[in-house]
Amino acid sequence: MKVLVAIKRVVDANVKIRVKSDHSDVDLANVKMAINPFCEIAVEEAIRLKEKGVASEVIAVSVGDDRCQEQLRTALALGADRALQVKTDVAVEPLGVAKLLNAIAVKEGCDLVVLGKQSIDSDNNQTGQMLAAIGNMSQGTFASEVVCEEGQISVTREVDGGLQKLALQLPAVVTTDLRLNEPRFASLPNIMKAKRKPLAVLTPDELSVDVTPRLCTLSVVSPSEREAGVIVSNVAELVEKLKTEAGVL
Q: Give the binding site for ligand AMP (CB under 6 A).
A: 6-8, 36, 38-39, 42, 62-64, 92, 94, 97, 115-116, 118-119, 122, 124-128
Other CB atoms within 10 A of residue 41 CB:
24
- CB closer to ligand AMP, 36 vs 69: 36
Other CB atoms within 10 Å distance of the CB of residue 88? 19
Taking the complex as a whole, the smallest distance from the CB of residue 80 to ligand AMP amounts, in Å, to 13
Closest approach of Cβ 8 to ligand AMP, in Å?
4
Q: Is the CB of 64 or the CB of 171 nearer to ligand AMP? A: 64
| Residue nearest ligand AMP by beta-carbon distance | 116
Smallest distance, Å, CB 37 to ligand AMP? Answer: 9
Q: Which is nearer to ligand AMP, 91 or 238 (CB)?
A: 91
Among 132, 107, 102, 97, which Cα is nearest to 200's? 107
Nearest approach, Cβ of residue 22 and ligand AMP (Å) = 24
Residue 115 CB, shortest distance to ligand AMP, in Å, is 3
Name the residue nearer to ligand AMP (CB basis): 62 or 69: 62
Give the span between the Cα atoms of 23 and 229, in whole angstroms: 29
Spatial CA neighbour of 58 closest among 38, 42, 34: 42
Diameter over CA atoms, the chain: 70
CA-CA-CA-CA torsion sign (62, 213, 19, 121): negative
- With respect to ligand AMP, which residue has the nearer C-beta, 42 or 47? 42
CB of 225 to ligand AMP, least distance (A): 27
Cα 68 from Cα 62, distance rounded (Å): 7
* Residue 244 to residue 249: CA distance in whole angstroms: 8
Cα 230 to the chain's mean position, in Å? Answer: 40
Report the length, in residues, of the chain: 249
Q: Which is nearer to ligand AMP, 94 or 238 (CB)?
A: 94
